[in-house]
Amino acid sequence: MKTSVVLVIGLVFAVPCVCAANTALKVNLSIMGAVVGPTKWTGAPWDGRGKADPKAVKAVRKLMQGGGEVAAAIARIKELAPKGAASAPDVTGYVIYTGPTSRELAQIASTRLALAPKHEPMENNYQPRFDVGYRGWPVYRHSLFRLVLWDADRSHAEPMGVVKIRYRDIARAVESGKPTWVNVARQSYNQILFVEIRASKAAPGVSAKLDGAKYR
């Protein structure tokens, strides 16, 4: 019997799930990086005490509604970002798998893999780079990989967003055979714009495993 890992208000449960074994796409998946919006959804800078910039909010919304090419987004972020040495967020967070999985993987499927640990945030960064993934991992139609990011200020961690990488995103990356940017702007009110992934079909017989450290 398969199980399903479900995320409910920060808690993860494994529950029975009926899914045919041959519906899984077994992949090697890497979470490579992200592009963060130039301001918070309100237009306020991520760090510092600058004034909110409603023009930046409108500009990013227009850019992403138009399809949002990555190169164009990065260029606009440089133009729209508040000026200052520390205006970008200090990124910390993790990725967690939710959805159908095998009984053998149920104990590890809900592990939170560190994109950037709490004690080592990626400081002042609009384009954080990650190095975590899943090897030989079975991905089903209802599988989700949730990325949870915060801006780690000294006094507290401020949520940046929770965005999902879906089966269709992974299938597209497998087909392209190269790093693929996934537009996630609508999931985070334009606070996280893109996530970069790479995916390929796993070789037959490869055991599934996590590639990264636990988020602490």
Could you read off the pLDDT of 73-130 as tens digits, one per residue?
Answer: 788 777 888 876 578 899 999 999 999 998 899 999 999 999 999 889 999 999 999 9
Nearest to 73 by CA among 44, 42, 33, 115: 33
Indicate whether 52 belongs to any domain: no
Burial class of 185 by CB neighbour count within 10 A (0 to 12, 13 to 18, 19+): buried
Indicate whether 76 belongs to any domain: no
Indicate whether 80 belongs to any domain: no
Q: Which two tokens stand for residue 6?
A: 């479900």
pLDDT tens, position by position, 162-203: 999 999 999 999 999 999 999 999 999 999 999 999 999 999
Q: What percent of the chain has pLDDT over 90?
A: 61
Mean pLDDT of 147-171: 92
Indicate whether 126 belongs to any domain: yes
Q: Taking the model in full, what pTM does it have?
A: 0.86
Angstrom distance (rounded) from CA 166 to CA 117: 24
Strand pairing partners for 97?
145
Strand pairing partners for 157?
152
Indicate whether 160 belongs to any domain: yes
pLDDT in the model for residue 10? 43
Residue 135, amino acid:
R
Indicate whether 71 belongs to any domain: no
* CB contact burial 110-136 (16+ within 10 A = b; e otherwise): bbbbbbbbeeebbeebbebebebbbbb
Total domains in the fold of the chain: 1
Nearest to 34 by CA among 82, 89, 81, 83: 89
Indicate whether 185 belongs to any domain: yes
Give the residue numbers spanning the domain of 152.
2-38+88-211
Indicate whether 180 belongs to any domain: yes
pLDDT in the model for residue 3? 55
**What CATH number does residue 95 fall under?**
2.60.40.150
More confident: 42 or 76: 42
More confident: 186 or 55: 186
Q: Which two tokens stand for residue 49?
A: 């005490």
The CA distances from residue 126 to 20, 71, 91, in Å, are 41, 13, 9
The CA distances from residue 117 to 17, 86, 131, 206, in Å, are 32, 20, 12, 28
